Each structure stands twice: as structure tokens, then as C-alpha cells.
Amino acid sequence: MLRFRCKSFDVLNTKELHSILALRAEVFVVEQKCVYQDVDGKDPLALHLIGVVDDEVLAYARIFAQGIAYENYASIGRIVTSPSIRGKKIGHSLVANAIQECKYNYPEQHIKISAQSHLEKFYRSHGFLPTGEAYLEDGIPHIGMTLDV
């Protein structure tokens, strides 16, 4: 059974950090064929929401307070699920948990994400609304979306 844990960077153990980085690389770099600088120096500033089964990280999101990724918003990013658990609605659980962690840790801060455009409907189902026009981020179409809390 998948269990979610939210940890600051300094509380992650080395196995968790390795699993997080491996999952992000598996999906964003290899599966999506996107060459980008994943280790961007922001991980130490984030909360890390991990979905774990038997100590294996299968779902992940990175959460920031207002002013780190966006000046006027808390944010959720690097939202990813392992290909091995896709189709089981884990992504919905991951996003719902990430929103709750934002509300708990950063009360009254609205939330912004940079969503891959093909997932706009998915994020709309969680209350996010698009802001502005679509844009390319690392060669992949994205759209800014916000959630008022």
C-alpha cells in the first residue's frame, strides 16, 4: 500500500534522495526525452512529498513556500509517478496530498504550478485554473496554473 510522507531536505535519508533522483530521471529525462538540469540547487529549499511502497519511492512532488519558485505563490513541482503504477489514480492522490501539504505548511498562500499542457484537464480536476498562454519549458509545452486557497 502506498503511503505518503513529507520531509524537508535535511531529513531525507540517502536512499530516499537516491530514489527521488532516480525516479525524476527515469520519467523526465529518459521517458520524456528531456535533457535539462534536474539538480537545480532548489531541493534543499523544498519539502519533498514521497509516495512509498516497501521503501521504494513510486510517487513524488517538490513543494516550495511563496517566494522560492514564484514570487507570490507557494508551488508544487517535479510531480511524477513511476511508470509501474500508472493507471491506478496514484497521480490524483499525489496531487491531493501535495495540495494539503501546501495548505498545512504555507497557510493562505495560493499555489502555482507549471503544468505540462497535456495534463491541463487533470490539474483542473484538482481546482487549478490556467493563467496566461502556453509556453515551452525544456522543449515541452507547459501552461501556468494557479489554485486559490
Q: Which fold has domain 3-147?
A: Aminopeptidase (3.40.630)
Predicted confidence at residue 89, as pLDDT, reads: 93
User: How many CB atoms are located within 10 Å of the residue 39 CB?
Assistant: 9
Listed in sequence order, the DSSP H helices in the chain are 14-24, 90-105, 120-124
What mean pLDDT is predicted for residues 36-46? 94
What mean pLDDT is predicted for residues 107-115? 97
Whole-number Å distance between alpha carbons of 64 and 2: 23
Predicted confidence at residue 55, as pLDDT, reads: 86
| Measured CA angle at 19 (ends 15, 23), to 5 deg | 175
Contacts of 78 (CB under 8 A, 6+ apart): 24, 28, 60, 61, 62
Question: pTM for the full model?
Answer: 0.95
Predicted confidence at residue 93, as pLDDT, reads: 97
pLDDT in tens, 118-146: 999 999 999 999 999 999 999 999 999 99
pLDDT in tens, 74-89: 999 999 999 999 999 9
Domain ranges of the chain: 3-147
pLDDT in tens, 42-98: 999 999 999 999 889 999 999 999 999 999 999 999 999 999 999 999 999 999 999
Residue 101 has pLDDT above 90, yes or no: yes
> Which of 19, 20, 10 shows the shortest CA–CA distance to 45?
10
